[in-house]
Chain A
Amino acid sequence: MLLYILKRILYVLPVAIGVSIVCFLLVHITPGDPLTAVLPVDATLELQQQMRALYGFDKPLPVQYGLWIWRVVQGDLGASIATGRPVTSEVFNAVKNSLALAAAATLIGFVAGAGLGILAGYFRGGWVDRIASFVSVLGVSVPHYWLGMVLVIIFSVQLGWLPATGGGPQGSASRSWDWDYLRFLVLPAVTMSVIPMGIIARTVKALVGEILNQEFVHALAAKGLTERGVFRHVIKNAAPTAFAVMGLQLGYLLGGSILIETVFSWPGTGFLLNAAIFQRDLPLLQGSILVLALFFVFLNLTVDILQAAIDPRVQRA
Chain B
Amino acid sequence: MKTMNLAGYAAALTLSLTMTGSALAQGTLRIGMTASDIPLTTGQTDNGGEGQRFLGYTAYDALVNWDMSSATKPSDLVPGLAASWAVDATDKTKWTFKLRDGVKFHDGSAFTADAVVWNLDKLLVKESPQFDPRQSAQGRSRIPAVASYKAIDPLTLEIVTKTPDATLPYQLAWIMMSSPANWEKQGKSWDAVAKAPSGTGPWKIVNFVPRERVELVPNPDYWDKPRVPKLDKMVLIPLPEANARVAALRSGQVDWIEAPAPDAVASLKQAGFSIVTNAYPHNWTWHLSRVEGSPWNDIKVRKAANLAVDREGLKELLSGMMIPAEGFFPPGHQWFGSPKFKLKHDVAEAKKLMAEAGYGPGKPLKTKILISASGSGQMQPLPMNEFVQQNLAEVGIQIDFEVVEWNTLINIWRAGAKHESSRGATGMNYTYFIQDPFTGFVRHLQCNLAPPAGTNWGSYCDPEMDKLFDQVRNTFEPKEQTAILQKIHEKYVDDALFLMVTHDVNPRAMSTKVKGFVQAQNWFQDFSPITMTK
Name which residue of chain A comes closest to B126, CB basis. Answer: A50
Knowing A31-B407, A274-B36, A278-B36, the reply to whether A160 touches B247 (Cβ < 8 A) is: no
A272 touches B405 (CB 8 A): no
B453 touches A44 (CB 8 A): yes
B220 at the interface (CB under 8 A from A): no
A283 at the interface (CB under 8 A from B): no
Knowing A83-B40, A85-B191, A275-B37, the reply to whether A173 touches B247 (Cβ < 8 A) is: no
Name which residue of chain A comes closest to B138, CB basis. Answer: A40
Inter-chain contacts of A153 with B (CB < 8 A): 247
A33 touches B12 (CB 8 A): no
B237 touches A38 (CB 8 A): no
B454 touches A44 (CB 8 A): yes
Interface of B is mostly: helix
B211 touches A267 (CB 8 A): yes
B244 at the interface (CB under 8 A from A): yes
Knowing A157-B250, A161-B12, A262-B241, the reply to whether A171 touches B141 (Cβ < 8 A) is: no
What's the A-B contact tally at a CB cutoff of 8 Å?
154
Inter-chain contacts of A165 with B (CB < 8 A): 239, 244, 247-248, 251, 253
A85 touches B36 (CB 8 A): no
B382 at the interface (CB under 8 A from A): no
Q: Interface extent on B, as a size class?
A: 35 or more
Bound Cα distance from A149 to B242, whole angstroms: 12
Which residues 2-23 of A sit at the B interface, judged by CB distance below 8 A?
A: none
B137 touches A38 (CB 8 A): yes
Query: Which of A40, A45, A84 has a CB less than 8 Å from the CB of B142?
Result: A40
B134 at the interface (CB under 8 A from A): yes
Residue-wise interface mask of B (8-28) relative to A, using a CB-CB cutoff of 8 A (1 in contact, 0 not): 110111011001000000000
Residue-wise interface mask of B (223-266) relative to A, using a CB-CB cutoff of 8 A (1 in contact, 0 not): 00000000000000111110110011011110000000000000
A43 at the interface (CB under 8 A from B): yes
A37 at the interface (CB under 8 A from B): yes
Inter-chain contacts of B408 with A (CB < 8 A): 31-32
Bound Cα distance from A279 to B37, whole angstroms: 10
Interface of A is mostly: loop
Query: Which of B12, B134, B240, B252 has a CB less than 8 Å from the CB of A38?
Result: B134
A172 touches B15 (CB 8 A): no
A189 to chain B, nearest CB (A): 17
Inter-chain contacts of B248 with A (CB < 8 A): 164-166, 265
Inter-chain contacts of B48 with A (CB < 8 A): 40-41
A21 to chain B, nearest CB (A): 25
Bound Cα distance from A275 to B190, whole angstroms: 22
A90 at the interface (CB under 8 A from B): yes
B452 at the interface (CB under 8 A from A): yes
B132 to chain A, nearest CB (A): 9
B455 at the interface (CB under 8 A from A): yes
B194 touches A84 (CB 8 A): yes
Residue-wise interface mask of A (63-99) relative to B, using a CB-CB cutoff of 8 A (1 in contact, 0 not): 0000000000000000000111100001001000000
A42 touches B439 (CB 8 A): yes
B140 at the interface (CB under 8 A from A): yes
Query: Which of A90, A93, A166 has a CB less than 8 Å from the CB of B237?
Result: A166
B212 touches A161 (CB 8 A): no
Inter-chain contacts of A156 with B (CB < 8 A): 247, 250-251, 253
Name which residue of chain B comes closest to A155, CB basis. Answer: B251
A36 at the interface (CB under 8 A from B): yes
A47 at the interface (CB under 8 A from B): yes
Residue-wise interface mask of A (190-209) relative to B, using a CB-CB cutoff of 8 A (1 in contact, 0 not): 00000000000000000000
Inter-chain contacts of A83 with B (CB < 8 A): 37, 40, 194, 210
Inter-chain contacts of B19 with A (CB < 8 A): 169, 180
A42 touches B141 (CB 8 A): yes
B453 touches A33 (CB 8 A): no
B243 touches A171 (CB 8 A): no
A33 touches B407 (CB 8 A): yes
B147 at the interface (CB under 8 A from A): no
A280 at the interface (CB under 8 A from B): yes
Inter-chain contacts of B411 with A (CB < 8 A): 32-33, 36
Bound Cα distance from A301 to B210, whole angstroms: 33
Bound Cα distance from A252 to B121, whole angstroms: 48
Inter-chain contacts of B37 with A (CB < 8 A): 82-83, 275, 279
Name which residue of chain B comes closest to A81, CB basis. Answer: B134
Residue-wise interface mask of A (156-187) relative to B, using a CB-CB cutoff of 8 A (1 in contact, 0 not): 11011101111101111100000010000000
B212 touches A43 (CB 8 A): no
Residue-wise interface mask of B (407-422) relative to A, using a CB-CB cutoff of 8 A (1 in contact, 0 not): 1101101100000000
Knowing A170-B209, A170-B213, the reply to whether A36 touches B12 (Cβ < 8 A) is: no
Inter-chain contacts of B241 with A (CB < 8 A): 262-263, 265
Inter-chain contacts of A163 with B (CB < 8 A): 251, 253
Which positions in A face B, CB cutoff 8 Å? 31-33, 35-45, 47, 51, 54, 82-85, 90, 93, 149, 152-153, 156-157, 159-161, 163-167, 169-173, 180, 262-265, 267, 271-272, 274-275, 278-280
Q: List 18 A-B contacts (CB under 8 A).
A: A31-B408, A38-B134, A38-B137, A40-B137, A40-B142, A41-B455, A47-B140, A83-B37, A160-B8, A160-B9, A160-B252, A164-B253, A165-B251, A171-B212, A172-B212, A173-B209, A272-B211, A279-B37
Instruction: Give 4 closest A-B pairs by Cβ, nearest first.
Output: A160-B12, A171-B212, A156-B251, A171-B209
**11 new A-B contacts at CB < 8 Å, known A47-B140, A267-B212, A275-B211:** A32-B407, A41-B410, A42-B455, A44-B453, A44-B454, A45-B452, A149-B243, A156-B253, A163-B251, A166-B212, A265-B238
